[in-house]
Amino acid sequence: MFRLYQMPGWGSAIIEAQLVFYGLPHELVESGDIYEDAAARERLAALNPLAQVPVLVLPSGEVMTESAAMTLYLADVAASDALVPGPGAAERAAFLRWLVFIVANIYPCFTFADVPTRLVEDAEAARAFRAKVDERACALWRAVEAAAGAPWFLGQRFSALDIYVGVMNHWRPRPAWFAAETPKLAAIARGVQARPELAAVFARNFG
């Protein structure tokens, strides 16, 4: 049994979707709002010193953080290339490139700007900081759009990249922006959310 520390609508939805997709037994533990609740932050920090979700506790009791690492690990556990192209797959290099691009470049935009007063104390400066970070995120998403295939990011092959896009489409700059500015990513997000095996995950996380 895997134990996923999560909050509905947060990045943990990416890993929840993969656990469900593979049919791996798991339980969900709500972490609480680690930004607003000091006790929740302290509890999670006992597992992850950064006090961030997702945190995945393996059946062995070992703790994993970092969604990209979990993505690769769960594919190994499931002995499946359904979400992660295997070493011999033509799509493998592109998958790894864009997985790391998303988690190394776009994901930190939310880490820094969701609650900018953690880094910038002055309220007005914090608003300006958030606006600049959001502007940077939009530029990064346009780069992802330029590389995206159809109907899925890797073309005909569905992958965990599509799950990332499907979840993150709900975050800033929000679905209307994606639909107007990155139509391929918006179409991917709609396709992911329409998949029967993932419908319950998206309903639980995003209503």
Sequence-ordered list of residues with C-beta below 8 angstroms from that of 159, at least 6 positions apart, any chain: 83, 84, 85, 91, 95, 152, 153
Retrieve residue 153's tokens: 């990011």
Q: Please choose, from the candidates 185, 195, 5, the residue with its C-alpha nearest in 3D space to the C-alpha of residue 98.
A: 185
- CA distances to 2, 37, 69, 86, 94 from 91, rounded to whole Å, are 28, 42, 18, 8, 6
pTM (2 decimals)?
Answer: 0.96
Instruction: Please give the pLDDT value at position 121.
Output: 87
pLDDT at 54: 98
Domain boundaries 92-195, CATH class? mainly alpha
Which residue's entry shows tokens 């509905």?
Answer: 8
pLDDT tens digits along 38-66? 999 999 999 999 999 999 999 999 999 99
Other C-beta atoms lying within 10 Å of the C-beta of residue 197: 11
**Residue boundaries of the structural domains of the chain:** 2-78, 92-195
Rounded CA separation 95/4 (Å):
24
Helix count and strand count (H, E) for the chain: 10, 4
End-to-end CA distance of the chain: 26
Q: pLDDT tens for residues 65-124? A: 999 999 999 999 999 999 999 999 999 999 999 999 999 999 999 999 999 998 898 999
What region does 182 belong to: left with phi over 0, alpha with psi -120 to 50, or beta? beta
Token pair 């990249």 in the structure block, residue:
161
Residue 3 has pLDDT above 90, yes or no: yes
**Nearest C-alpha neighbor of 15 from the set 78, 71, 69:** 71
Q: Which CATH class is domain 2-78?
A: alpha beta
Res 166 pLDDT > 90: yes
Q: Decide: helix, strand or coil at residue 3.
A: strand
